[in-house]
A = this chain, B = another copy of it.
Amino acid sequence: MSPASRPPRVAVVGSGVIGRSWTAVFARAGCATSVFDADERQLERALAWLREHSLSGSEHVRACSTLEQAVDGAAYVQECGPEQLPLKQSLFAELDRLAPGSAVLASSTSAFDMRDISEATRHSERCVVAHPVNPPHIIPVVEVLGTARTSPDTIARACELLSAVGQTPVVLKKHVQGFVLNRLQFALLREAVHLLKAGVADAESIDAVVRDGLGLRWALLGPFGVADTNKDDGVRAYIRGYESWITDLMDQLGPTPTFEPELTERIAEALDRARGDVSRAQVRAWRDRMVLEIRRLKAENPLGKAEEREP
């Protein structure tokens, strides 16, 4: 949406943890946001959560008791139903029937191919995956992925709207299980669990290597960006100089672990110990507040030519 234009009308379908967070994203950007949930009590809880957290924009939120009412006049629909394919399929068929012909229909799915979800729709060209990181009102990245039938215009409009409400849409070109985000997340977790099981380090130490080491850079630069800055002459010199070391090491990474109950318990106990008398809810609240602080820091200090030298 251009600065002059009115924020578009948005519908959020499903008001669980993801749905309520999406509602906060759209509403704080000034979009008239209709929320529908077949479970009325869940919808009430979501509205209470929005009020309780004094998230800005709650005056733009309208709870709807029917799907038809929710999608009325919507330019964009964000589906946040349970991760069950038949359910999402029938939801999309209904959305396709009820929503304005011009509306983009986006799913928050982290697991399914939009080709399958949109199977029973007549206008699959407007169907797209918009997979957020939980919770989207804190973490900006959204994986956007269509099918062979999705129109380029749908992708463009989804990205435009997501950018306008402050998210970071990232377009994927092909469906793979787990998309990019969960595959990268589980690539790291797989090796972390392998190192734990192999007795190389305990869970707290492995977490510290990320939290006080690798993660400090990854909050600023992705894996390619890090490789580019790991050597004065950039990624060409990095790969040329270290290729055999890198690929040898990659060949030695561990296989998919089995999660025996005692392994899970060992990880959980280490986390409980590290947390001490701080509750898990407090850890999450701290994480979310700190992520917003890091985002503010990055927004206030964009990468530019201003840098003169290393600190």
Contact = CB atoms under 8 A, between A and B. Distances in A.
Nearest to A143: B209
B286 A212 contact: no
Contacts of A52: 309
A72 B189 CA distance: 45
Interface string A162-193: 00000010111110111111111111111110
Contacts of A256: 247, 250-251
A59 interface: no
Contact of A200 (B139, B174, B195, B278): B174
Interface residues of A, number: 125
Given A192-B223, A288-B311, A214 B252 contact: no
Interface stretch (A32-40, A61-69, A266-274): A266-274
A189 B227 contact: yes
How many copies, total? 2
A249 interface: yes
Contact of A178 (B53, B172, B210, B252): B252
Contacts of A200: 172-174, 176, 179-180
Contacts of A183: 191, 195, 249, 252-253
Nearest to A171: B205
Interface in A212-230: 212-230
22 contacts: A53-B311, A111-B245, A139-B213, A168-B212, A171-B201, A172-B201, A173-B201, A176-B252, A178-B252, A183-B195, A189-B223, A208-B222, A211-B222, A218-B219, A225-B271, A229-B283, A229-B284, A236-B265, A247-B259, A278-B307, A286-B303, A288-B310
Closest 5 CB pairs of A and B: A207-B222, A215-B218, A141-B213, A187-B191, A219-B219
